[in-house]
Structure 1
Amino acid sequence: LARLLDEKLKAAGLDFDEIKTFATPRRLTAVVNGLPKRSPDVCDERKGPRVGAPDKAVEGFLKAAGLGSLDEAEIREDKKGDFYVALIEKPGRESADVIAEIVPEIVRTFPWPKAMRWGAGKLRWVRPLHSVLCLLDGKVVAFDIDGIESGKVTRGHRFMAPKDFAVKDFADYQAKLKKAFVILDGDVRAATILDAARARASEHGFGLVEDAGLLAENAGLTEWPVPLMGSFDEDFLSVPPEVLATSMKAHQKCFSVTKGDDLANRFVLVANLEAEDGGTAITQGNERVIAARLSDAKFFFDQDRKVSLETWVPKLKEITFHEKLGTQYERVQRVFRLARDLAPRVGADAEDAERAGILAKADLVSDMVGEFPELQGIMGRYYALDQKERPAVANAIADHYKPVGPSDEVPTAPVSIALALADKLDTLVGFWAIDEKPTGSKDPYALRRAALGVIRIVLENGVRLPLNDVIRPMLGQWRKSMPLQNERGESFGVPDSTGVRHSLLDFFADRLKVYLRDQGARHDLVDAVFALGGDDLLMIVRRVEALGRFLDTDDGANLLAGTKRAANILRIEEKKDKRAYDDAPDSKLLEAPEEKALAKAVDVVEKAAAKAVADEDFEAAMAAMA
């Protein structure tokens, strides 16, 4: 709404200070501050043909400019001679007239994901439109939208204050809405919900499980939010807490509640009114629905545990990962082998890594994950522990999807690290092999997130992982298995693996640059280190960190100044002599004692710096050069 108003007001020549928008389940509001009474007069110049141009060119110019004859045009001169200019004056318009024109346009063309029609009208809106309130400086801006005339009247809460009332301006509108049990500002509604929900939980000795997404959803579903506490049978606590919380959130938009570190058999719902009975009937209604939903969840959980994870693995053949990359079963075969190969690099047990890889996707065919896809991995862990798999294997099944966002923790257990890296690298190499890369803002397969996940896992766990050593054999395996056929029977193969590998390494480099800059690293230091090449992410970052620390010292500043001076001198000499001086020094050409002393000093420094770099002591290497 703000964007559409901004575009149309500016297109009409109306400047303003700001646009604020508000939304509730029953109203959409915009207030524009600093709007002038009218748009300014405008005089546009339209350049025409040369003086003496053919009649057709002149006639076209006069018609386009709206002139009756050349007497109404000016003659101006430039380097090429005289030409005609039309001065087209456009008088400003009253702001009220502009608003009366653009608001109906916005309403009729508003881009709802889903819209409906009602009655005999043609207007499409997310829900039937009842009224339009539009004021400018306290006066009604008159217009009509499919028989709905604009005015200064609105109404309050649907049940608690349904009567119409008139308003004078936005402040009056907001104040009267609040008296009519409507909190207009969504942020205020969210704060109201959070404070009251915490209070409901606290007064019964519980803690609220806060959820920003659920909070925003409830704020969007209510005009006068009233949190209430309900309960469910303690027998349901035998079901994993993630299942209970997800079921209550997905079906009833309820917050979970804890007692100490454990989930309690309580929940907080958000009603949209202050009920006469204090919310008893609303709470009881929600309790009945939640009892039914939790019964379903418990049934899924009990049924799933009757089948071993290993039994589900062959059923992954029925789930397509990508038409060119095969099924989830084929993917599991690649991932468990890669996890086994990566295990020694991260200090993990190879057998545990392989076992975790085999079972990692098995829960995708479970009833529970079919109902709640967001529980993938989490349910696999519970089922693995129930079937006496080793804890490291079970935890890796849950953790291998991490991190799922920039604020999510990375896996830290060795087996989990091996499996998480294998899963993400298989995704990246596979999509690069079929040339499905992110383009611009489009990243349908979340490949940027996968690359950032690899980077964070490597850096936060101090993992030495030269990417070339991993990616090269993976691409080799892809080439051996190609050409494959997609579901339409079309064959395809992997392009030149060297080009694919270099492209993927460049992608990692770009993602790492973004990550380091977000962490506060200087962009010039990042670029300088990347100019050296390399595919060991941990070593690249350590070089950037060491370079930053060193350049903050006096020795670092002196070395930088000396290097710049030497580079400038060399560039001048190369330009003068018309040749490049990039060969090693020739000791036979050294004559003056100063030249020989300098060459000897450079040789000593070079050896000391090379040894320090080999020992990965980058600060010592730079100190030797200083």
Structure 2
Amino acid sequence: MSTQDFLVELGTEELPPKALKKLSQSFCDGIVKGLASAGLPHGDVHAYAAPRRLAVLVKALSTQQPDCIQNIDGPPVKAAFDADGQPTKAALGFARKNGVEVDQLDRSGAKLRYVQEVKGNPAKDLLPDIVAQSLNDLPIPKRMRWGASRVEFVRPTQWLVMLLGNDVVECEILAQKAGHESRGHRFHHPEKVRISAPANYLEDMRAAWVIADFEERRTLIQKRVHELAAKENGIAIVPDELLDEVTALVEWPVPLVCSFEERFLAVPQEALILTMQDNQKYFCLLDANQKLLPRFITVANLESTQPEFIVEGNEKVVRPRLNDAEFFFKQDKKNTLESHNQRLQNVVFQAELGSVYDKAARVAKLAGYIARTLGSDAQLAERAGLLSKCDLSTEMVGEFPELQGIMGTYYARHDGEHDEVALALNEQYQPRFAGDALPSTVTGQAVAVAEKVDTLIGILGIGKHPTGDKDPFALRRAALGALRIIVGKELALDLVELASEAIAAYGGKLTNADVQTDFLNFMNGRYQTWFVEEGISIDIIKAVLAVNRTQPLDFYKRAKAVQAFKQLPQAEALAAANKRVGNILSKRDQSEPLPELNQQLLQDQEEQTLASAVALHMSDQRMDYPDRLQSLAALREPVDAFFEKVMVNVEDIAVRNNRLALLKQLHDLFLDIADIAELQ
């Protein structure tokens, strides 16, 4: 089988930097999918992307589709021929449709069949449609037109390279005719670049001052930024998203160190870092104590003979940004943080639930209750709750919404608030994402849980439940956040009590009479999402849910204990026995209570042994959940023996009820932790 390398490169105006990586991968995936659909075998596939190009290199692509046998079924043989063996209209029509005579059809099966050999097409004839379809399927939210053309793409196209081996694949895609010629760096090599062969693509582009491999550029930037930071005795902040974006902005990356005036360090460093990263795409530097240095690294897109001019230009550009941050900070400090609550009285939290200030007042109340429950300082929690939303109306947060909470901490400290109160203003939003830190102080934990529970009760209380993937109030995130804090910080909080306090704080504004039930069901649903991530299976979650526990910490401990129990060799048999016991008990008349277990009525050795074992376990409930379940595993043998030798539903009512009482004791022992009958 003959093979050749295949290269496609589409040249464009500068592509959206935040989307470049995704566009590149999608383009590559689409071509691989198209080749598979066409039945064209190939070797390794490489995706390349730079600001003005998307490219895919396919190694050892078959130059010809393989021939194949195509079977086309027709009418049933019985209907295709009459009693004399002559073809009917159905057979004649099927033969005519396929351009053959009836005697050329296969009649050995239940249906007439036309078997034909289909010759494979040359790859060069198939590739244009494969490439065009892949480009058409790119995830582009909004396409644009340019000039008089009606062609649409994410950016205007400039050139197209399509080579199979050394030959051009003749075609026109997105208003560009395929050829050998690419383009080099916009400044270093504006001339056309002839791609000598697909395998030489990267080196041909490198000679034209373009590093076409996205990952190579990314690695180069990352390495050089860290090296430059070390020379400045600093540590570079290199978030993955920012690194990807900068990589997508440059064809020939040259990182350079710049600086700004030290006076700006009086501004909260989070604000300086945010404006430099988001607006200027700079990498900031921290010292060994995680304090911002008056340095940053920019990545130029050319190798300048006078790099000092690039440095000077970037330092000039960043100064107004830092001036703005400094101005906002100084303006905000002219008033106390608490004074911002006045403005929040006119800012709507939710039309039916009042203002943002109303929410802060409710959070204060609920946070105070939580702090008292935990034996902490309720006054600090209430104060933090009252100030929790104040920074939303500050100039700094108005300009940089991502700084909500962070700026509250700075302004509270400036006002002389207790440090736990100040910290809580930022900790209320934790955890912001999976794996994020949890609030470190009890005051912060109280406010964070209160803030989330207030939102859940309020939104569910007016009947606005999340539907499908739509969750405009981020209730799922709030629920998970509250559960993670309660469990992670081992807080003895009860969801029913939290809901009752939160509902009372709304003072009759809620229209959903079943809000508490909806809240508990919603929180129970979040256990499944979270615990499955931790490797706790759904049947374990159902086992604990069956015993209706409303304390998240207790729920988590039970789930972990059942998870360990499930690994024991006795678990499967005990789960089956527990299910059997549950079925037996459910069939009796529930209106008549069972008598106390009577030792005198225990007739068989097996029921006496089981009763003794159950009594032993009932007498010692001091062990923790894992030890209790481990201990209960020892019941497997007496339980198995009981069901093998003892008949429960005997005619003697007293003996029957006594045996049922024994089974209920056994059942209750497990139900005290979880319904292990749910285990699979």
| TM tier relative to shorter chain | 0.7 to 0.9
CA distance in 1, matches of 2:32, 2:605: 74
Alignment partner, residue 45 of structure 1: 72
Shift of 1:302: 1.0
- Please, which of 190, 193, 205 is the counterpart of residue 177 of structure 1? 205
Determine the C-alpha separation between the residues in 2 that align with 1:210 and 1:538: 36
Q: Determine if contact 1:48/1:61 at 8 Å carries over to the other structure.
A: no
The equivalences for 1:254-333 within 5 A come to 254-261=282-289, 262-277=291-306, 279-323=307-351, 325-333=353-361
- One-letter amino acid of the structure 2 residue matched with residue 612 of structure 1: R
Aligned to 1:35: 61
Q: 1:50 to 1:396 in 2, by over 3 A?
A: farther
- Matched residue SS, 2:324: helix
Residue identity opposite 2:164 in structure 1: L
Matches within 5 A, 1:433-472: 433-472=461-500
Give 1:241 deviation, angstroms: 0.8
The offset of 1:136, in angstroms, is 2.0
CA distance in 2, matches of 1:422, 1:46: 68
Alpha-carbon distance in structure 2 between the residues aligned to 1:623 and 1:523: 24
Deviations 1:471-498 (A, max 9, x none): 245356669214xxxxxxxxxx426335
Secondary structure of 1:265's aligned partner: strand
Paired amino acid for 1:275: S
Quote the offset at 1:29 in angstroms.
1.2
Match of 2:622 in 1: 612
Deviations 1:46-66 (A, max 9, x none): 454685499999599859965
Q: Which residue of 1 aligns with 2:528?
A: 510
For 1:599, which of 578, 599, 611 is the aligned residue?
611
- 1:101 to 1:592, Cα distance in 2 relative to 1, 3 A: closer
Q: Who is 1:622 aligned against?
A: 630
Map of 1:536 onto structure 2: 551
Q: 1:624 to 1:70 in 2, by over 3 A?
A: closer
Amino acid at match of 1:514: V
Match of 1:590 among 602, 612, 622: 602
| C-alpha deviation, 1:98, in angstroms | 1.3
Deviation at 1:100, TM superposition (A): 1.4
Aligned pairs (5 A) from 1:218-257 = 218-257=246-285
Alpha carbons of 1:427 and 1:44: their partners in 2 closer, same or farther (altered >3 Å)? Answer: farther
Q: CA deviation at 1:373?
A: 0.9
How do residues 555-570 of structure 1 correspond to structure 2 at under 5 angstroms? 557=569, 559-560=570-571, 563=574, 566=577
Q: Cα–Cα, structure 1 residues 569 and 122, in superposed 2: closer, same or farther, change >3 Å?
A: closer
Task: Please give the secondary structure, in 2, of the residue aligned with 1:420.
Answer: helix
Give 1:218 shift.
0.9
Change (3 A) 1:316 1:64: farther
1:240-296 residue CA offsets vs partner (Å, 9 max, x unmatched): 11111111112211111223422121111111111011x111111111111111111
Q: CA deviation at 1:320?
A: 3.9
Bigger relative contact order, structure 1 or 2 (CA pairs below 8 A, ≥6 apart): 2
Partners of 2:303 and 2:417 lie apart in 1 by: 51
Report SS of the residue matched to 1:184.
Answer: coil
Cross-structure match for 2:192: 164
2:164 corresponds to which residue?
136
Match of 1:101 among 129, 137, 159: 129
Structure 2 residue runs of 5 or longer lacking an equivalent are 1-26, 635-680
Distance 1:588 1:164, change over 3 A: same
Q: Does 1:215 align with 2:213?
A: no
Distance verdict in 2 for CA 1:74–1:360, change over 3 Å: same
In structure 2, distance between residues paired with 1:220 and 1:534:
51
Which one-letter code corresponds to 2:518 in the other structure? Answer: V
Aligned residue type for 2:523:
L
Letter in 2 for 1:512: W
Please state how far the C-alpha of 1:24 moved relative to its aligned partner: 1.2
CA gap 1:567/1:496 in 2 versus in 1, 3 angstroms: closer
1:324: Cα distance to partner? Answer: 5.3
TM-score after normalising by structure 1: 0.85
Give the secondary structure class of the aligned counterpart of 1:294.
helix
> Where do residues 105-116 of structure 1 align in structure 2 (5 Å cutoff)?
105-108=133-136, 110-116=138-144
Q: For the Cα contact (< 8 Å) 1:256–1:267, is it kept in 2?
A: yes
Q: Which deviates more from structure 2 when the two are superposed, residues 341-350 or residues 354-363?
A: 341-350
CA distance in 1, matches of 2:505, 2:104: 77
The match for 1:416 is: 444
Q: CA shift at 1:384, angstroms?
A: 1.3
Taking the aligned partners of 1:565 and 1:109, their CA distance within structure 2 comes to 52
Preserved contact between residue 495 and residue 520 of structure 2 (Cα < 8 Å) = no
Code of the aligned partner of 1:603: A
- Counterpart selection for 2:154 from 95, 114, 126: 126
Written as runs of structure 1 = structure 2, the 5 A alignment for 1:475-554 is 475=503, 480-482=508-510, 493-494=511-512, 496-497=514-515, 499-517=517-535, 521=536, 525-548=540-563
CA–CA distance in 2 between the matches of 1:388 and 1:76? 94
Measured against aligned partners, the alpha-carbon deviations of 1:377-398 in whole angstroms (never above 9, x if no partner) come to 1111111111122211111111
RMSD, aligned α-carbons:
3.6
How far the C-alpha of 1:150 sits from its partner, in A, is 0.6
Match of 1:352 in 2: 380
Corresponding residue of 2:12: none
TM-superposed CA distance for 1:115, in Å, is 3.5
Contact 1:19–1:32 (Cα < 8 Å) also in 2: yes
Pair 1:207–1:604, CA change in 2 (3 A): closer
Provide the secondary structure at the position in 2 that maps to 1:612: coil
Question: 1:489 matched to which residue of 2?
Answer: none
CA contact (8 A) 2:453 2:502 kept: no
1:538 partner amino acid: L
Number of the residue aligned with 1:486 = none
Partner of 2:31: 5
> 1:432-475: CA deviations, max 9, x gaps?
34454455555454333323322221222111222222224535
Corresponding residue number in structure 2 for 1:151: 179
After TM superposition, the structure 1 stretch with the greater mean CA deviation from structure 2, 398-407 or 167-176, is 167-176
SS of the counterpart of 1:216?
A: helix
- Asked whether the 8 Å contact 2:210–2:251 carries over to 1, the reply is yes
Give the letter for the 1:296 counterpart.
D
Instruction: Describe the SS at the equivalent of 1:481.
Output: coil
What does residue 490 of structure 1 align with? none
**AA aligned opposite 2:263:** D
